Amino acid sequence: MSTVQFKLPDVGEGLTEADILTWKVAAGDSVKVNQVIVEIETAKSVVELPCPTAGSVAALLAPEGATVEVGTPIIDVLSDDAAAAGSAGAPAAPAGSEGSPDSRPGAEATGDADGSGATLVGYGAREDTKRRGRLGRRRALAEQRAAETAGPMPSGPTGLLEDAGAPQRPDPSVSSPAGTRARAKPPVRKRAKESGVDLATVTGTGPAGEVTRRDLEQHLAAAGGLPEVTPTTPRTGPTPAAPLAGPTTPLAAPEDDKTWTIPLKGVRKATAQAMVASAFTAPHVTEFLDVDVTRTMDLVARSRGTEGYAQVNPLAVLSRAVCWALHRTPELNASLQGEQIMVSRRVHLGIATATDRGLMVPVVPDAHAMSVGELARRIREVAATAREGRCPPEAMRGGSITITNVGVFGVDSGTPILNPGQTAIVAFGQIRKRPWVVDDELVVRQVATLSVSADHRVVDGAEISRFLADVGAAMEDPSLMLV
């Protein structure tokens, strides 16, 4: 019987870390190959990971709610097949040793070139990562030899994620020698650069003195920076006081507290990065238009009793109007790529969806080829999938324009920020009764406000105005879309 250690894989989207949401198994449970053992949350979606080998669970190495870096062991499985160690990619062996490839028939794992362990089919690292594997091994070997030349490292406490056979960590009290470049992974270096921290001043507790993300967060907390994150390994010794003493992600403030903190991670972190990149890269311009949508509401009411159109709602009609207007002004269905503007007749419609995890934008491909009834059905499907956390990363890629329905929150209008890579986004305000002039008479009509934000590098006011006017005209009189 052998112990197989399964590392957190890259699920194919350039993943650097993920949160452990829910364990589907516990220590002592029997598991089968490809049985779902854990749900993880990446910056884009919730992903279920299958077990790479059959056996019984020896230990769960990462608690629920923990943020774990790719390549970190998350579960130990006792396997009857010694060869199964290769399929998991991380047998309990000293760090730095290279396991042999798995030769079992039907094994669904492949070895990583960088020695980080095998990954399940469908969760492989990107090709550019694999090409850097040889250089990574050489660098790791050189650093290992340098560490051996410097003498044995002081032993430290064994953490929850450590392999019992791995080299012991250096004493946290020993800092990096002056003038040397601290060891750290690219995400940690980026975080340190954003925070203005010299990694040489941070005590590393990782292998060979590597500065981990947890080390950096603890350093920031001690320096009065950001609050310390909840660690994925148990502390030894007294725990210093920290601003956060409750759950990792508090959903509501305690009754006796007036302020609380929510960690910026997962979807919220990805949204923040995307919005900053968009707002400070694309010069936004926003236009507004009030539209009499009484005829649209009449159409929706009549469609309720028609087979195939029972799910038609104002959002579906707006989606069809957007596709119709883009056929007349395709410049807004474009993407700026370097020195070229790529314009397409195919409309891949993004639907901004509010979920418990944050804002997600699933895409309805080829929306231009769909009827109002088909659009209504597909929008409901992708929105429901996103809210349930089952939307895969590929379902949120490739959008060419986005609609955000702010009216469901009782809001009249807004100035939405572009989804990065797109040229326009349409905001749909609430529909409510207002006084309106029809044939020189003041009557009560159902009115909504439409707004469009666009990238002024790609389009000018003329194209934006023409597009918005066409959308408004189609919403005022849906029969125009039949012409």
Task: Cite the active site residues.
Answer: 456
Is residue 52 within 8 A of residue 120, CB to CB? The reply is: yes
For 415, left (φ over 0), alpha (ψ -120 to 50), or beta? beta
Quickly count: other Cβ atoms within 10 Å of residue 468's Cβ.
23
Instruction: Label each residue of 97-153 as H, E or C.
Output: CCCCCCCCCCCCEECCCCCCCCEECCCCCCHHHHHCHHHHHHHHHHHHHHHHHCCCC
* 3-state secondary structure at position 437: strand
- C-alpha distances in angstroms, 332 versus 255, 273, 287, 350, 395? 48, 23, 14, 14, 22
Q: Rounded CA gap, 348 and 365, in Å?
A: 4
Is residue 85 within 8 A of residue 104, CB to CB? The reply is: no
* 3-state secondary structure at position 205: coil
Pairing mode, strands 55-60 and 17-23: unpaired
Residues sharing a CB contact under 8 Å with residue 251, sequence separation 6 or more, in sequence order: none
Is residue 139 within 8 A of residue 156, CB to CB? The reply is: no
Which residues are registered as beta bridge partners of 18?
Answer: 68
Is residue 65 within 8 A of residue 19, CB to CB? The reply is: yes
- Scan for tokens 């949120």, then name that residue: 396
Is residue 350 within 8 A of residue 327, CB to CB? The reply is: no
Is residue 359 within 8 A of residue 402, CB to CB? The reply is: no
Q: Rounded CA gap, 125 and 7, in Å?
A: 13
Q: Rounded CA gap, 470 and 483, in Å?
A: 13
Q: Rounded CA gap, 460 and 281, in Å?
A: 16
- Scan for tokens 């589907």, then name that residue: 24
Helix%, strand%, coil% for the chain, nearest 5: 30, 25, 50
H or E element, residue 430: none
Is residue 288 within 8 A of residue 449, CB to CB? The reply is: yes
Cα torsion 276, 245, 61, 107: sign = negative
